[in-house]
Structure 1
């Protein structure tokens, strides 16, 4: 892999981080490709279990979508370097607590520790599936220890409709109506960002796509104009549910004001193939390129750095719940099989809920008087 000069990103730290993550992923993929497809041998250590989980064609690892494999690959590499030599039958809950302190930077990065434990748990579950005796006992140790470890706080960021308008204006000012359309679609329809802009996956991944990049050897899946009918009703099976529940989402775009405003920039003859296409090359965005554009638009819109593009989806759901939409309806629109996911992860309208709660109590007291 050739060297790449990133000096031009020194004054844009978030874009620099995004580019480094992308290059790291490319390097990991290259290393894995050159290492061959031979299944790793289990020798009783955690490192060998992780490698076996990652190389056995029958492993659940290969059921993960390419976008999900990237963080797994990164964490597996880090775990092997840190604790790969530990024998499974010697790992204790005390070990996990010590590892947690390291992985979380003494509590500063709880999400990193949670992901590290999730990767180990996935490998251990695979080990149980293949009847490795050491894994059954280790799973109980992991469960007992994890219950005593702190979890990351759920995100409370809510992007307002006014801020989405500002983001769209910033994208238009930069000559990228595609970004503005993406922001509007995610916020209004609450589709996941990676469904709206799509995902590039290896050419040998399951599924047929007519959008391919011969240079990178990838193909693309995501929201297409064909998913929107003549009445502007969007019907789409999200990537996250396509291999599980198969739940589709439906949304009348005529009831999505921001989307309708953006569609004015897309005449009928241009409504074919991928919905969101990067103006620079005429192809769907690479995720790291879209992230860089988001950082620029967010800054131009005067929004703080801790706001993420994927907060748009949760914010749309929160806006609906704050307006009194039932959780069941919000879950259907979001494509959730369970309302628990909607309320626990995506519904951030805590203040509005408290106001409705307080108003109901006050109203009852007034009636009693």
Structure 2
């Protein structure tokens, strides 16, 4: 028999096998239709599964066309399932999902896809504590036999379920209040906080290797991250998808515009910077003259090259593409002897921890890192002895004061 497969796309894995996806029409996806992509867990080589593939494609295509026919402003009927709740959360204009930043939406979409594929057809009315425990335990199992448990993934699934039912309570959807109360009274093991940090000796070993290999951009980016404690995104920037109707101005690559990174114009003639951070909108202010590693690398860059984005991929001639900076950073880090357990993202924790170890006031460190609360700063202090040493010195001085004369 001949079947129709509207929206079907096939993409090859590294092993040569085809993975199947249903993909929404580009114009409707741009107009706001979700989901944009749905993985289909069938084997194209098995002819008997073609009917199932066709049925799935027809179903998703029909939902999309129904939305396009005039129901854009009306959320589809809630069918009482986990998948129905997930779709409602993504499509409802009153849902907090629509106010999330694009990259947060992308992260949430990955987790929601996992949830829908694993137990999306379960009715909310039939779910209880045992189900949540079973799903958590299944998600935390190692990817391969003998591998590490994936606690971070399992905790992410539970966190997303909490968001879904919390939205459901606000939207007055059936069963959500009951499920929210179960999750509120239940605790699940959380992933351990990272304990490693990029240290001064790592940075001092990294920079000369990066320079020798023609990666001045990586040397400068790492120096900035460590000495100013700015997040990677605030130093190198990010590629934000163009919205429908946006003019493709600025630096644009494949429908994305480079934003939020440092530019040479951000550095004043006195080598000071004032940067609005992407996560909180707080202003981070730094005097680069007090950042010797940064000044050393800047001094290697000719004045006529100090135009546009601060960090430029030498090979591409533009800001680093997504994930390329961390990937290339790892190559240099390996050559410089930086332990594999230490990541580029640990530069921020390294700078904050060094400040704590040097005896800096916690509130001053908080201000430098542009944190709104000191409790956030404390989470970045990793394995330092600064506070312990200060307490021990104060105790010793106190004992000396209490000793009788002579």
Q: Which of 374, 382, 389 is the equivalent residue of 1:339?
A: 374
1:61 to 2:100 alignment: no
Instruction: Quote the Cα distance in structure 1 between the aligned partners of 2:93 and 2:251.
Output: 25
| Cα distance in 2 between the residues matched to 1:329 and 1:206 | 43
Q: Which structure exhibits the higher relative contact order, with contacts defined as CA atoms closer than 8 Å and separated by 6 or more residues?
A: 1
Q: Give the secondary-structure state (helix, strand or coil) at the position aligned to 1:287.
A: coil
Is 1:230 equivalent to 2:269 in the alignment?
yes
> TM-score, normalized by length of structure 1?
0.84
Question: TM-score, normalised on structure 2?
Answer: 0.77
Give the CA deviation at 1:40.
4.8
Query: Aligned Cα RMSD in Å?
Result: 2.8
The Cα shift of 1:45 comes to 1.1
Matched, 1:104 2:140: yes
Q: Secondary structure at the match of 2:175?
A: helix
Contact 2:359 2:386 in 1 (8 A): no
Deviation (angstroms), 1:105:
1.8
In 2, Cα distance between equivalents of 1:342 and 1:32:
37
Paired residue secondary structure (1:367): helix
Secondary structure of residue in 1 paired with 2:286: strand
2:346 matches 1:305: no
Q: Point out the structure with the larger helix share.
A: 1
Q: CA deviation at 1:166?
A: 1.3
> Take 1:205 and 1:259, find their aligned partners in 2: how far apart are those partners?
39
Instruction: Name the SS of the counterpart of 1:241 in structure 2.
Output: coil
Gaps of 5+ in 1: 8-22
Separation in 2, partners of 1:136, 1:297: 51
Contact 1:322 1:349 in 2 (8 A): no
In structure 2, relative to structure 1, the CA distance for the partners of 1:40 and 1:323 (3 Å cut) is farther
Which structure is larger by alpha-carbon Rg, 1 or 2?
2
Structure 1 partner of 2:389: 355
Where 1:240 maps in the other structure, the secondary structure is coil
Name the CA distance, whole Å, in 1 between partners of 2:247 and 2:276.
Answer: 15
* Secondary structure at the counterpart of residue 274 of structure 2: strand
1:252 deviates by: 0.6
SS in 1 for 2:279: helix
The answer on 1:121 being equivalent to 2:162 is yes
| Aligned equivalent of 1:167 | 206
Pairwise CA distance, 1:119: 1.7
Aligned to 1:212: 251
**1:176 maps onto 2:212 in alignment:** no
Q: Deviations over 1:160-215 (max 9, x none)?
A: 1111111222222221111111101110111111111111011118998843325x
Displacement of 1:91 in angstroms is 2.3
1:73 maps onto 2:76 in alignment = no
Query: Quick one: structure 1 residues 226 and 209, their matched pair in 2 at CA, closer, same or farther if it must change by over 3 Å?
Result: farther
Given that 1:89 and 1:138 are in contact with CA atoms closer than 8 Å, whether structure 2 keeps it comes out as no
Distance across 1 between alignment mates of 2:312 and 2:318: 5
Partner in structure 2 of residue 135 of structure 1: 176
Q: Please, which runs of 5 or more residues in structure 2 have no aligned partner?
A: 1-8, 38-59, 143-147
Contact map agreement 2:352 2:365 (CA 8 A) in 1: yes
